[in-house]
Chains A and B, each alone.
Chain A
Amino acid sequence: MRHGPRPEYVVRQAAQLVRGSPWLTGVSALTIALALTLVGLFAMILFNAGKMMHELGQSLTLSVYVQDATTPAELAALDKQVRAHEGVKSVTMLTREMDRERNRKLLDPELLKGLDEAALPGQPVLEVEIDADLASRGDVQELVEWTRSVKGVQSVEDVEFGAEKLRLLFAIVEIARTVGLVLSIVLLSSAMFFVFSTIRLAVFSRRDEIEILSLVGATPGFIRLPFLVEGALQGLAGALVAMLLLGLLHLELRSLVRDVYMLNATWSLLPPGMILWLILGGPAVGLAASAMSVGRYLKV
């Protein structure tokens, strides 16, 4: 003879609890779904932003414009100084003519008709490719500091590098992270409150049954288990709805990134590990909330 209840008995009782208050159960599952969708959405945005930053950092190019009067020795010293930085992958020296040629290629041939070649801008320049592991705004700041030190060299006229854009991007990501965290906590707390209340009402509506079960020799675990399973089921239902919503959001965001903003990046779905955590997160939230409710209101 087994000591615990049969699994099918527990599931049947939990299903009866769901049937007892379908609307409330539905709302609880929906709040969990919304909370998990939001968590998943922010996770997706941050994951993709992180991926984009990483890709951006890997192919960062700095243009160090050198003054005309720079001597070969000064140029060699500058080249050495730039190469000394650990993130620098390669340094290519472009003469004035090469730079002018590059600029000419960038312009529309129609515009160049009848134009004096000498009017096109051109300046000796060091094209520096950097593989910077950009993980935060601090990393960008570090890179900015370094470019400032390069700019401080006498022979350098200017350093061009989209630092402000990068900094703005990182700032947006960091704000998104904070907002996402706060919203996720608020929504998850609300979802837990809903489950907590649903289970509390289920406990109250079954007080007579709980008393009878206790009198005929049911252990506290036997009496509590269906309520805990109900909470976990609400969470599981919420998680599955959240997965559906996240799948739709993923498709929408992917086409937005590709077609609307024409970003040279691919929008990826969350890694399988994160998806698994989100799916498990639903029942875990439901179970935790129902455990709190049962612990507080189901006295046997």
Chain B
Amino acid sequence: MIQLYHVHKRFPNGCDALSDVTLRVREGEFVFLTGPSGAGKSTLLKLLLVMERVTDGQILIGGRNIHVLRDASVPFLRRNIGVVFQDFRLVPRRTVFDNVAISLEIMGLGRKEIERRVNQLLEGLRLVHRAQAYPGDLSGGEQQRVAIARALVNEPAILLADEPTGNLDPDLANDIMNLLLDVNRRGTTVVVATHDVALLERHGLRTLVLSRGSLVEDRPRVVRPNERLSQPIPIQALRAADPLAGRSTQPLSRDTAGEEP
């Protein structure tokens, strides 16, 4: 799903953020990206979102080389990549509903379809009662769930999360992680950048370690047959609403990621 070949990123000030990074993330995989501050985690995510362009090397998403992607095609690639940030990045002037609806508004969906899909997802995320609230009225955990809802509402093939639990207390962080894991179980490829060692150890998932812009370790997933992955979260509610129905069997076209509709 995501392939990087000898990727190099140098900023105009001469700083090398990434050097010769080669990696591959398979479709439906859950991968942690870790390393100390300044290791290049965020830069890598920015390259995947085409917020930055590679200096050298190639990145393929869904088989498509994004190095040669025209600027006009970038928005259509981004519609296949959901993104979640540590600071949530919700629009304070918009209600929870409208924040989640943004991803569908840009696709030009009709109001009824938008209402149906947003409400279904908010219901699954236990946020439906907060639909008309503003982000400033929500707790950190709620805000992050709204951000995840916004990232998922248009059913992207990939979900990128940059320190999604960084601003949350351990219980809420656990809640959010379980949500991401559940999203992954439904077929979405998930990449989570974090420097939370406890989080990495607790889940034992594949972990890519970056240091000073280089990929220094690729730890495979630890198989713990008798271990439950996490504390229970309202997955039943999520399943009942089934906002991601069809995701695992018919995900968004991986081959056409980044193509204009």
Contacts and interface: CB of A to CB of B under 8 A. Distances in A.
Task: Specify whether A and B are partners.
Answer: yes
Interface in A205-243: 208-209, 211-220, 222
Interface stretch (B9-17, B104-112, B126-134): B104-112
A3 B91 contact: no
Contacts of B244: none
Contacts of B106: 5, 213, 216-219, 222
B78 interface: yes
A13 to B, nearest CB: 9
A209 B93 contact: yes
B89 A6 contact: no
Interface string A1-35: 11111101100000010001000000000000000
Given A2-B108, A4-B108, A6-B108, A217 B79 contact: yes
B78 A217 contact: yes
B258 to A, nearest CB: 10
Nearest to A215: B83
A139 B83 CA distance: 74
Contact of A219 (B75, B91, B110): B75
Given A3-B108, A5-B108, A9-B105, A218 B75 contact: yes
B51 A215 contact: yes
Interface string B89-106: 111111000000011011
A218 B78 CA distance: 8
A149 to B, nearest CB: 72
Interface string A31-72: 000000000000000000000000000000000000000000
Interface string B63-85: 00000000010011111000100
A4 B105 CA distance: 9
Interface residues on B, range: 20 to 34
A1 B75 contact: no
Contacts of B53: none
Contacts of B77: 217
Contact of B111 (A6, A16, A216, A220): A6
Contacts of A218: 75, 102, 106
A3 B75 CA distance: 12
Report whether over half of chain A's contact residues are helix, strand or loop; otherwise say mixed.
helix
- Most chain-B Cβ atoms within 10 A of its Cβ — which of A3, A4, A20? A3
Nearest to A216: B103
Given A1-B261, A215-B49, A216-B83, A208 B91 contact: yes
A4 B109 CA distance: 9
Interface string A92-121: 000000000000000000000000000000
Interface residues on A, range: 20 to 34
Contacts, number: 64
A213 B104 CA distance: 11
A215 B105 contact: no
B105 A6 contact: yes
Given A1-B261, A6-B105, A209-B91, A215 B110 contact: no
Given A4-B108, A5-B106, A212 B79 contact: no
A8 B91 CA distance: 19
A215 B150 CA distance: 11
B108 A212 contact: no
Contacts of B51: 215
Contacts of B49: 215
Contact of B105 (A5, A211, A214): A5
A193 B107 CA distance: 34
A216 B79 contact: yes
Contacts of B79: 216-217
Nearest to A219: B75
A210 to B, nearest CB: 10
A162 B78 CA distance: 77
Contacts of B94: 209
Contacts of A222: 106
A138 B146 CA distance: 74
Contacts of B150: 216
Contacts of B91: 208-209, 212
Interface in B178-203: none
A213 B109 CA distance: 15
21 contacts: A1-B107, A1-B261, A2-B108, A3-B108, A8-B111, A9-B105, A209-B93, A212-B90, A212-B102, A213-B102, A213-B106, A215-B78, A215-B83, A215-B89, A216-B79, A216-B102, A216-B150, A217-B77, A218-B106, A220-B75, A222-B106
